[in-house]
Amino acid sequence: NAGVTQTPKFRILKIGQSMTLQCTQDMNHNYMYWYRQDPGMGLKLIYYSVGAGITDKGEVPNGYNVSRSTTEDFPLRLELAAPSQTSVYFCASTDGSGRGETQYFGPGTRLLVL
Amino acid sequence: GEDVEQSLFLSVREGDSSVINCTYTDSSSTYLYWYKQEPGAGLQLLTYIFSNMDMKQDQRLTVLLNKKDKHLSLRIADTQTGDSAIYFCAESISNTGTASKLTFGTGTRLQVTL
């Protein structure tokens, strides 16, 4: 049981390049989330999904896209990378029980846009 | 609106108690959480408290909730060097069938000295 896995661990992008951050969970969780964490800040929600085929915007969705074709995978797409997207990205999942549910976090992807 | 505030830094001696404080603004929060983030890692849930509780104890951890003042604290008894990390409080609004979304504080860096 690997929990939530993310790839890559670290990436450097040039301005205008695109990339996909991968996230997979093996806990059969319906709810999945993407957060970004800027230095010295808390986590900001980018997008989330309540199940396969259903996604919705979070607090800071601009410049990102997501898809959820399966329960396990929730990739995050950056189409035109900008320096403001330099951050650490965390994927999380939960069973959605709503009773003090635990959000399980991946180890993060550190992205540097130059 | 939702806003969660924490002090940025706390230094304690090994063996002493640590108290990390958090204030939140959304009175409709149903669950409040404490997460721990070690260097280079994702967030790990430490404990949570339901909004109709005043206190919750879990081994060395004690959570106190003052709903009137919207104040949450985490006390770590007999603090150890392994407790050195960043601690985030987070609030969750009642799950009404949609994804339970968390609002995170900025995090408190706990430094444990010998």
B5-31 pLDDT, tens digit each: 998 899 999 999 999 999 988 767 678
Residue type present at position A79: E
Confidence of residue B1 (pLDDT cuts 50, 70, 90): very low
Percentage of chain B with pLDDT > 70? 89
B82 touches chain A (CB under 8 A): no
- Name the CA dihedral angle for B89, B94, A3, B3, rounded to a multiple of 10 degrees: -30
Q: Which residues pair with B64 in a beta bridge?
A: B55, B73
Q: Which of A10-24, A39-53, B2-16 has the highest mean pLDDT?
A: A10-24
Residue of B nearest to A42 (CA): B106
The number of C-alpha atoms within 13 Å of B15 and in the hemisphere containing its C-beta is: 1
A89 touches chain B (CB under 8 A): no
Q: In the numeric block, which tokens belong to residue B82?
A: 């392994």
Q: Is the pLDDT of residue B97 over 50?
A: no
- CB contact under 8 Å between B100 and A31, yes or no, is yes
